């Protein structure tokens, strides 16, 4: 860390208040501002490791990331992208509806730009991040509330610089927060459980419950969880497809279903990895032949009922895992419009996929993003 400290990386280091000879407060606060150049990014990564870290407690010190207020100009820009003002709404509509020269007007403009993004994977450990980000951006932009929350500055950066190593994008590294060892390969599901609550995406806000029916009482809630994190589905032996997995999830010992208004975006996690009696981890590679069909997700009819209505959804994006374990192998993403499917790969843009190729890839689908049936556009 000492080798990285110079005039380019450290822009400011000073006391937050005027220092006095005999301070009366319990501590003295200093402010450290780090530059944005490459060495500054390396220094920032090292400092983040000590963020709220107990290793500094014996020294009576603490490092925390500051969250200063926005300037007037920054606040205006944020309002434009969040659609908080009428001018912002008109600007967003103008940007999203602009047709791309190589795509059908029905495909959102920002999605067509996303197909050209090339996320680098220099040390062969960033594929889980790359595939997660592309699937999240693609599926969120296809909802009726395409507000990207914490991902908005990341996408804006990608639109300006479509070839990028994600860990060199400060907007992305700030979203990672306390994620441990980002330069090591990780389980994408575990990563999304950490990341998705930090994104503040309106499209994924919702809840699901497990209920049982008791005599003289009615429906009793056994468990409640948020749809902000992926819903885990087991693959029954001899599963006939994704819909079969959803029905098995719903019809287990208790009734499981979405409660309240169904969210605009639902992420499903397929539990493909199982431990045998001998302690060996094996991967379930059952195919999903219905991946392009309309699937139906159960939603409780009322807060005091176990009856459900089945809401139609379509798979909008999916992540693929190739390899023996979740923390080894390779991740890629499938991006889908109504008629076409693209597959992503590190260090290049997305490639169009044929139906035959898709069939051979469905045994590797690990996470799935679904949007309401009416929300999936067509592409020429």
* Residue 71 pLDDT > 70: no
CB 295 within 8 A of CB 250: no
Same domain, 35 and 118: no
Give yes or no: residues 238 and 369 share one domain: yes
Residue-wise pLDDT for 274-293, tens only, equals 888 887 888 999 999 999 99
Please check whether residues 271 and 149 belong to one and the same domain.
yes
Residue 82 lies in a domain: no
Tell me what percent of the residues of the chain surpass a pLDDT of 70.
Answer: 85
**205 pLDDT higher than 50:** yes
**How confident is the model over 2-27, as pLDDT tens digits?**
888 887 788 788 887 777 777 766 67
Q: Please, which pLDDT band fits residue 68 given cuts at 50, 70 and 90? A: low
Is residue 239 within 8 A of residue 286, CB to CB? The reply is yes
Instruction: Identify whether residues 380 and 300 lie together within a single domain.
Output: yes
Distance of alpha carbon 73 from alpha carbon 379, whole angstroms: 37
Which of 29-38, 159-168, 260-269 is predicted with the least confidence, judged by mean pLDDT?
29-38
d(CA 335, CA 318): 7
Rg (CA), the chain: 23
**What are the tens digits of pLDDT across the range 206-255?**
999 999 988 878 889 999 999 999 999 999 988 889 999 999 999 988 89
Domain that holds residue 18: 2-59
In a domain, 379, yes or no: yes
- Supply the pLDDT for residue 166: 92
Provide the CA 187 distance to its chain's centre, in angstroms. 13
Q: Following DSSP, what letter does each residue of 298-321 receive, concatenated? A: EEESSTT---EEEEEEEEEEEEEE
Residue 86: predicted pLDDT: 38
**3 vs 159, which has greater pLDDT?**
159
Mean per-residue pLDDT of the chain:
84
Same domain (yes/no): 183, 265? yes
Residue range 303-313: mean pLDDT, rounded:
93
> Residue 164 and residue 148: Cα distance in Å, rounded?
19
Residues 301 and 360 grouped into a single domain: yes
Which pLDDT band holds residue 370 (cuts at 50, 70, 90)?
very high
Are 165 and 293 within one domain?
A: yes
pLDDT over 60 (residue 51): yes
Cβ-proximal residues to 54 (8 Å cutoff; 6+ apart), any chain: none
More confident residue, 145 or 315: 315
CA distance 374 to 314: 8
Mean pLDDT on 53-64 = 75
* Residue 300 confidence (pLDDT): 95
149 & 39 share domain: no
**Quick check: is 37 in a domain?**
yes
Of 160 and 55, which is predicted with more confidence? 160
Q: Comparing 9-13, 77-81, 114-118, 165-169, which segment has the lowest mean pLDDT?
A: 77-81
pLDDT recorded at residue 91? 38
Which of helix, strand or coil describes residue 296? strand
Structure tokens at 360: 């051979």
Q: Is residue 284 part of a domain?
A: yes
- Banded pLDDT at 296 (limits 50, 70, 90): very high
Phi-psi category of residue 182: left, alpha or beta, with phi > 0 → left and psi -120 to 50 → alpha: alpha
What's the rounded Cα separation, in Å, for the pair 302 and 304?
A: 5
Per-residue pLDDT, 217: 81
Q: Tens of pLDDT along 74-107?
A: 666 666 655 543 343 333 433 443 443 443 335 6
Taking the C-alpha atoms of residue 269 and residue 226, their distance in angstroms, rounded to an integer, is: 14
CATH number at residue 146: 3.90.70.10
Number of structural domains, the chain? Answer: 2
The structure tokens 């008629």 sit at 339
Phi, psi for 289 (deg, rounded to 5): -70, -15
Beta strands in 323-378 (DSSP E): 330-336, 341-345, 348-353, 365-372
Pairing of strands 231-234, 266-271: parallel
The position carrying tokens 């209920």 is: 211
Q: What is the pTM of this model?
A: 0.71
175 confidence band (pLDDT: 50, 70, 90): very high
The pLDDT tens digits of the residues spanning 120-131 come to 998 889 999 999
Residue 206: predicted pLDDT? 94
| pLDDT of 52 | 63
> Is residue 22 located within the same domain as residue 115?
no
Is 78 among the domain residues? no
Same domain, 6 and 113: no
Distances in Å between the Cα of 114 and the Cα atoms of 12, 110, 139, 156 are 37, 6, 11, 11
Check pLDDT > 80 for residue 330.
yes
Do residues 38 and 126 share a domain? no
At residue 375 the predicted structure's pLDDT band, cuts being 50, 70 and 90, is: low
């Amino acid at each position: 860390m000492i080798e990285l400290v110079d005039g380019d990386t450290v822009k400011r280091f000073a006391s937050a208040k005027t220092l006095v000879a005999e301070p009366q407060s319990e501590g003295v606060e200093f402010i450290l501002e780090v530059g944005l150049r490459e060495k500054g990014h390396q220094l920032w990564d090292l400092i983040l490791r000590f963020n709220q870290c107990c290793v500094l407690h014996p020294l009576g010190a603490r490092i925390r990331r500051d969250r200063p207020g926005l300037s007037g100009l920054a606040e205006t820009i944020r309002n434009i992208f969040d659609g908080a003002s009428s001018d912002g709404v008109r600007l967003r509509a103008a940007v999203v509806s602009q047709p791309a020269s190589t795509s059908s007007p029905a495909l959102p403009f920002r999605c067509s730009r996303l197909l050209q993004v090339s996320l680098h994977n220099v040390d062969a450990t960033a594929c889980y991040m790359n595939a997660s980000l592309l699937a999240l951006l693609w599926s969120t932009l296809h909802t009726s509330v395409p507000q990207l929350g914490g991902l908005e500055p990341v996408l804006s950066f990608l639109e300006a610089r479509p070839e990028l190593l994600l860990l060199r994008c400060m907007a992305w590294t700030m979203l990672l927060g306390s994620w441990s060892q980002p330069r090591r390969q990780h389980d994408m599901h575990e990563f999304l459980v950490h990341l998705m609550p930090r994104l503040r995406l309106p499209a994924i806000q919702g809840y699901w419950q497990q209920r049982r029916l008791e005599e003289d009482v009615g429906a009793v809630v056994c468990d409640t969880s948020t749809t902000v994190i992926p819903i885990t589905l087991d693959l029954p032996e001899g599963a006939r497809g994704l819909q079969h997995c959803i029905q098995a999830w719903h019809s287990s010992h208790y009734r499981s279903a979405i409660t309240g208004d169904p969210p605009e975006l639902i992420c499903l996690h397929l539990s493909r990895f199982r431990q045998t009696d001998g302690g060996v981890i094996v991967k379930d590679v059952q195919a999903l032949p219905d991946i392009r069909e309309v699937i139906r997700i159960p939603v409780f009819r009322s807060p005091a009922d176990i009856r459900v209505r089945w809401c139609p959804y379509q798979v909008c994006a999916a992540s693929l895992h190739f390899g023996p374990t979740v923390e080894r192998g390779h991740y890629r993403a499938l991006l889908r419009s109504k008629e076409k499917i693209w597959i992503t790969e590190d260090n290049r843009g997305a490639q169009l996929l044929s139906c035959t190729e898709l069939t051979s890839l469905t045994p590797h689908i690990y996470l799935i993003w679904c949007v309401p049936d009416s929300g999936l556009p067509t592409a020429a």
